Structure 1
């Protein structure tokens, strides 16, 4: 698989040859980036292309997919005169994670592993299971013991095996990472594998296309592990370098006030996490990540694009969810975080696009 780009560790520069099953830096065991810097085509090149995220195939590290479920090209609808929402809950498995999961399954199908493993009790686990089913790949999803039965059913319906791990979400991730080192295993990590980020960057390409080759004043995204934000940053750099946008939007990250390690680091002016985040209860469980492995990259990207961090208290999440429902939009608690953060006008008169990333 020498045609695949190499991976590189953003922390220490270690290179990992493309086409291997390596999932982390062999030196620091941290997440990897792709040494891949495409030039997007202009709007005129898109008219006759497939109506899915694969229409941006010239900007993706994989082309000619075999496992697509038609993901992408989700609607952009107005919430107010300044704020629009991208309905990424209208994906095949009902969340934005399909953007990255299809890339992981496509990569795995080309590498031909004996097994695929993932760790997630929510949207990422369901998405990886679905796309592995599409690719006819055996899949095991590691989840914390005690995960709700309906979540397990959502994963198993695609034929995936479920491995319940005693302990919390971080214990589950450790167990999955240990299993990922077995020979012939592909670790479909939505955090460590950089192909996932190149899938999520299509979120911004779609906004750019739907707005006629421009972007709003601000992009506001929920951040736990930061995969949507980091994908957005990739797209912004590529579009700007290609001269396809002349103005970069500010990039704002939203966290639940209950679990906001990145927001605290930002407030302290730190380039990395300042201290461990207590894992308190929050309705926005999908972004309740106390130790995001790509923390330094997330903070750097928000700084690069002149944005900031917004935190949301629990009562505001509930109020925002009810408000969206009255507008005809039923989404999961995590997906309302961005609307909860901006609906009171904290960003003033700037034009804003935010994602509604998981169905209710």
Structure 2
């Protein structure tokens, strides 16, 4: 059985416990888990056409909550840049990859309630999969969250709590609620099962590219869940001898809210204890996270891969959204950040995720 493991102090906990953080340091859990066996390309044809086809690599199996998530198309944008269309997931964002893992785990633990916090996409995904699992769900979102996202959360039957203030205030409110007995905190940041869902993004790339990966994988980074999932997958594939090199991980942040990029450029291993002032507004609301709890892990993963951080201005985000729309892809403003950052690369192959549908936020003003 997998176990929760604190990367800071080594504390362990059973995954059947409704514990959402390390009781010693209150930090996020990792998962002590090893794939059950190596995959092979020849074993995959004929398997279920969802992320659950990579069952050897997943800490849960035989899900009852699946909505057919995963296996999104990979299409070329230029001679070197390709896009993975994760906005075609059931709730229109890549967060379904992790949300299905959280809802399936919660279903097996039978809590009295599920709570989650989000700037929108994770909340809609958790709401949808809790509906699928017949679990009562409350989602906390900051004021100013896109009305289309809050509408989607309500449509799935979740109770919506709109929190005055920013994303940090929203997380604090959800974590307070998560401490109540009988509560499962479906945190896409603190619960490592979410990361093991997002890592299937890279397993799909590996399969679709015939057993190899591109030179680089660019991902938008706020809390860093997709990047950390990618780091898990590349490490697992490399350890099993299924790839001979690990691609560089390119972390993209909005210039307006880029604490991790600043720490990376300063050579720091973590964020400073005090960050200057409140977060500035940005069109990339989904990655506007001033103090991500897994900052240390994100910085280490980028460095170990030989990757880097890139930042994009608001004008480049606007231009990238229109450019992708002109190519046939209507993507929300957070989801275009990577295209804004690497769209003109010509010297190496790179894959960018188109993480959320444009209908979730509309065109940038």
Q: After superposition, what is the alpha-carbon deviation per residue over 1:172-222, rounded to whole angstroms, capped at 9, x for unaligned?
A: 111110110111100000000000000000000000000000000000100
Structure 1 counterpart of 2:207: 209
Change over 3 Å in CA distance of 1:238–1:157 after alignment to 2: same
Aligned residues: 355
The answer to whether the Cα contact below 8 Å between 1:40 and 1:56 also exists between their aligned partners in 2 is no
1:146, CA displacement in angstroms? Answer: 4.8
Question: Which position in structure 1 is the counterpart of 2:353?
Answer: 355
TM-score, reference length from structure 2: 0.95
Q: What RMSD over aligned residues (CA atoms) do the two structures have, in Å?
A: 1.0
Map 1:29-44 to 2 at 5 A: 29-38=26-35, 39-44=37-42
For the residue of structure 2 that corresponds to 1:162, the secondary structure is: strand
Q: 1:257 to 1:176 in 2, by over 3 A?
A: same
Q: Deviations over 1:59-101 (max 9, x none)?
A: 1000001000000000000000000000000000000000000
Determine the C-alpha separation between the residues in 1 that align with 2:158 and 2:148.
14
Return the alpha-carbon distance in structure 1 between the equivalents of residues 42 and 243 of structure 2: 15
Q: Give the C-alpha shift of residue 163 in structure 1.
A: 1.5
User: Helix, strand or coil: the match of 1:77?
Assistant: strand
The unaligned stretches of length 5 or more in structure 1 are none
Aligned partners of 1:153, 1:289: CA distance in 2, in Å? 23
CA offsets per residue over residues 214-236 of structure 1, 9 Å max, x none? 00000010000000000000000
Distance 1:213 1:147 in 2: 40
Where structure 2 has 5 or more consecutive residues not aligned to the other structure, the ranges are 359-365
The question of 1:158 aligning with 2:160 is answered no
User: Is 1:19 matched up with 2:7?
Assistant: no
Contact 2:119 2:286 survives alignment (8 Å): no
Aligned to 2:245: 247
Residue equivalent to 2:193: 195
Matched residue, 2:361: none
Deviation at residue 126 of structure 1 after TM alignment:
0.3
> Who is 1:312 aligned against?
312
Q: Name the counterpart of 2:275.
A: 276
Are 1:224 and 1:289, in contact at CA under 8 Å, matched by a contact in 2? yes
CA 1:312–1:148: 2 relative to 1, 3 Å: closer
Alignment of 1:114-263 (within 5 A): 114-263=112-261
SS of equivalent to 2:53: helix
- The alpha-carbon deviation at position 154 of structure 1 amounts to 1.0
Do 1:31 and 1:192's aligned partners in 2 also have CA atoms closer than 8 Å? yes
> Residues of 2 paired with 1:342 and 1:149: CA distance?
30
Local SS of the residue matching 2:241: coil
Give 1:144 deviation, angstroms.
Answer: 2.2
Q: Shift of the alpha carbon at 1:248?
A: 1.2
Rounded Cα–Cα distance in structure 2 between residues aligned with 1:298 and 1:186: 25
Q: How far apart are residue 148 of structure 1 and its match?
A: 4.3
Residue equivalent to 2:331: 331
Contact 2:65 2:103 in 1 (8 A): yes
Instruction: Classify the secondary structure of the residue corresponding to 2:100.
Output: helix
User: Normalising by structure 1, what TM-score?
Assistant: 0.97
Indicate which of 258, 262, 265 corresponds to 1:264. 262
Q: Which stretch of structure 1 is more off in the superposition, 271-280 or 27-36?
A: 271-280
